[in-house]
Chain A
Amino acid sequence: MLRYRVIPLVLLDGYSVVKTIQFDVRRNLGNPITVARVYNMRNVDELILLDIDATKEGRGIDLHTVQTVAAECFMPLTVGGGLQTCDDIAKTLAAGADKVSLNSVIFDNIDLLKEAVAVFGSQCIIVSIDVKKDSNGKYILYSHSDKKVNLSLDECLDLIASSNVGEILVNNVDNDGVMEGYDLDLINYVSKCIKSIPIIVAGGASSPTDCSSAIKSGASAVSAASLFHFTSFTPRSCKENMAAANIPVRL
């Protein structure tokens, strides 16, 4: 039986590991290589490495960092941050990533998804979207640049569903770093809109129970950063909680 995954998320500001609150206030957490080594020793299911400043600063993720992190990983590694073209993707994969995560670029160039799937295969391409609520409580897409996003959440999900990508990573910006639980309504909504592609969720996990709730709301995998950086919970303790809730996991 397929096991539900718990995926640590490692965010970079270029070279250091950082953790934000609602994509704003941040704390510095040191060297990504050490972090990756610890996660590998803890036998985690997978790892996601994202450079959250790359797009804003108009650069790509540092490939040397990708290379050294990949060398620590005997599990799948997803890398994202500033990827704009198939050539960028090819270089990131050559540096040792198994999959790439595309985010901001899809608002400017949605065709890149189809192009990338054709060149690298769907299994290689993850689309990541950041969602928040507007003042009326309606879900909207968050933009990492100054540019306004003209796509609604529904339109974006339709485009993703038809682009044949491998996975979708859904993050709630309002819940980011707040550690009050995942946005279960959002997870429920997205998993009903997209039935053909596995869904990874992020944003807000504060305890192993939150991970179980996210899976029960329709997620195919959960990811978290603060939960593992700032509490004594580990990916394993999350999975123990999930196992007790009859969710199949790899222990």
Chain B
Amino acid sequence: MISVIDLKICNIASVLRALDTLGLENKVVDDPKDIGQPDKLILPGVGNFFEASNRMRSLGWDLLLREKVLEEKVPILGICLGMQLFASYGEEGGQSKGLDFINAKVSYLRSSHENLRVPHVGWNDVSRCDMPIFDSLEGDNCFYFVHSYEMIIQESVQAAYSNYGVDIVAAVQKDNIVGVQFHPEKSQKAGLTLLQNFARRM
């Protein structure tokens, strides 16, 4: 059973539809006290870091996720803002704390590269795909991205990158924690394969 965390900040229907299409049993959890004993967790998200991190704290998700992910070692997949929330802090909407699963910060794309068109939107290749989530893609490593902020990793962890004039963290893995900046649920076959890998190989 995969529990999909609904922070009520974005539409999670496409993630659920992708899991259903793959025949992966899933349920939506919008209250930390209903979490039970999931085999896997998915934290999807588009939206604003500040809003999302405040919401996580006020609803008690931060403490619960630390327990499930850091102590019980339940595999978790963060998608887009979900991945960014694994960082120590984010700068979107004013500085705010993340879950601090990964020593990283989340910064505006144009703050270091001022001539980029932002958001980074569209299909981009992901390189250095040597994590289990990228298994059996058969060379189809192009995924759909749409984001204005990037994760800047400040510790030595496994990461995959995309190039948008500069290298951007496209995926990160630290033990049972895996995050992707792109949207597998919107990335056609490659995206479905990735979700399947998360469900079966982690």
Of the residues A94, A96, A123, contact of B46 by C-beta under 8 Å: A123
A74 and B118 in contact (CB under 8 A), knowing A98-B14, A124-B46, A250-B123? no
Interface residues of B in 108-140 (CB under 8 A from A): 110, 115, 117-125
Number of interface residues of A (CB under 8 A): 34
Q: Which residues of B contact A43 (CB under 8 A)?
A: 188-189
Main SS at interface, chain A: loop
Query: Do B118 and A197 have beta carbons less than 8 Å apart?
Result: yes
Q: A2-B122, A4-B122, A93-B11 are in contact. Are A121 and B17 (CB under 8 A)?
A: no
Query: Which residues of A, 113-129, contact B by the 8 Å Cβ criterion?
Result: 118, 120-124
Instruction: Verify A76–B163 contact, CB threshold 8 A.
Output: no
Interfacial chain B residues near A118, Cβ < 8 Å: 48
Q: What string of 1s and 0s marks CB contacts (under 8 Å) between A1-32 and chain B?
A: 11111000000000000000000000000000
CA distance A198 to B147 in the complex (A): 12
- The contact of B188 among A70, A74, A167, A196, by CB within 8 Å, is A74
Cβ–Cβ < 8 Å partners of A94 in chain B: 11, 13
- Set A4, A74, A97, A220: member contacting B191, Cβ < 8 A: A74
Least Cβ–Cβ distance between A179 and chain B, in angstroms: 25
Contact of A123 among B18, B110, B146, B164 (CB under 8 A): B146
> Contact between B18 and A74 (Cβ–Cβ < 8 Å)?
yes
B192 contacts partner chain A, Cβ-Cβ < 8 Å: yes
Is residue A221 within 8 Å, beta carbon to beta carbon, of the partner chain? Answer: yes
The verdict on B185 contacting chain A, using a C-beta distance below 8 Å, is yes
